[in-house]
A = this chain, B = another copy of it.
């Protein structure tokens, strides 16, 4: 555990946190000015491999890093500002996919992304 890794871990602490690698780097630099982008990418990659952090692709640009890897969850995204919330829908979407729609795949996982407009953007 180096100072660099500790800083990346600190930046990724919290709820509803879904930062891009670049955002992680900016915030890490505020705490440890000389940390490099390469180290941020390396550390994020290690955390993902360890299962401590999830990669999420809620927009079609940069990957986002999600420290909430403990409890499975899905995402609610504001189409205007990009804010992302963790959500826990009821039901079991896996069970909703009939065999006739599985094309012989062994299906093991499902991701659900809800889209809408957040209260802030709706007010503006």
Residues of A that sit less than 8 Å from B by CB: 55, 57, 59-60, 63, 76, 78-79, 85, 87-91, 93-94, 96-98, 101-119, 122
Task: Report how far A102 CA is from B75 CA in the complex, Å.
Answer: 10
Indicate if the CB atoms of B110 and A106 lie closer than 8 Å: no
Whether A104 pairs with B118 at a CB distance below 8 angstroms is: yes
16 extra interface residue pairs, beta carbon distance < 8 Å, beyond A89-B97, A104-B118, A112-B113 = A55-B60, A57-B60, A85-B105, A87-B102, A89-B98, A89-B101, A90-B96, A91-B91, A91-B96, A93-B93, A93-B96, A105-B116, A108-B116, A110-B114, A110-B115, A111-B112
Please report whether the interface of chain A is mostly helix, strand, loop or mixed according to DSSP. mixed
